[in-house]
Amino acid sequence: MSVCACEVHRFNAQHVDEGNQQRLRKVVSDVSKEIEKYYCRLELERDEFGAIEEVEQAECQCCGLKEDCTVVYIREVEKCFYGKWVCGLCSEAVKERVGKVGMQDALNSHRDFCQEYNDTTRLNPKLSLTLSMREIAKRSLENRNSKGLKLSRTISYP
């Protein structure tokens, strides 16, 4: 039985295709293994570093400042300040007052101060200056009265 050249060529092409398919399967298998290695490393890193947290906007209960913070940070601050989120600047002011009064009183006092500031100084700086001068004069008079000093006018003629 004689084999024609076409059949030999077809046999060789089929044999070559089977070899290529085997090599291709091996490459795909190797690539799949590499992908799985990287995926496992990624999972370990995610577990190690924790999931990336979402950021929310928190508003200070005292001054009204809005800040982007993680949910975990917001909850930690709220634990320290009786469920109220307070910005860094206000928290320092409240901490200074806590030595003199309780935490709740310090929070309320600072919140009232911030509200007064926002209502006067920010809206009308001249009015704020006038009110500040009035407060200084009032305190000065109270101090003099408590020390028993009397105000007297002197008239001087040139």
Domain boundaries, the chain: 1-50, 55-143
Residues 115 and 61: their CA atoms lie apart, in Å, by 10
CA dist 37 and 131 (Å) reads 70
H/E segment holding residue 57:
strand 55-59
How does residue 17 score in pLDDT terms, banded at 50, 70 and 90? confident
Q: For 92-121, how does the pLDDT look when each residue is reduced to its tens digit (9 = 90+)?
A: 999 998 888 899 999 999 999 998 888 877
Q: Which pair of structure tokens corresponds to residue 36?
A: 């799985």
Position 36 confidence tier, pLDDT thresholds 50, 70, 90: confident
Q: End-to-end CA distance of the chain, in Å?
A: 149
Measuring CA to CA, which residue among 63, 61, 67 is closest to residue 80?
Answer: 61
Prediction pTM value = 0.48
Taking phi over 0 as left and psi of -120 to 50 as alpha, with beta for the rest, 55 belongs to: beta
Percent of the chain with pLDDT over 70: 78
Cβ within 8 Å of residue 155, ≥6 positions away? none
CA-wise closest residue to 118 among 90, 91, 96, 99: 90
In this prediction, residue 77 carries a pLDDT of 93
Read off φ and ψ for residue 77, nearest 5 degrees. Answer: -65, -40
Query: How many C-alpha atoms does 94 have within 13 Å on its Cβ side?
Result: 28
Residues 6+ apart with CB under 8 A from 84: 61, 78, 107
Report helix, strand or coil for 67. Answer: strand
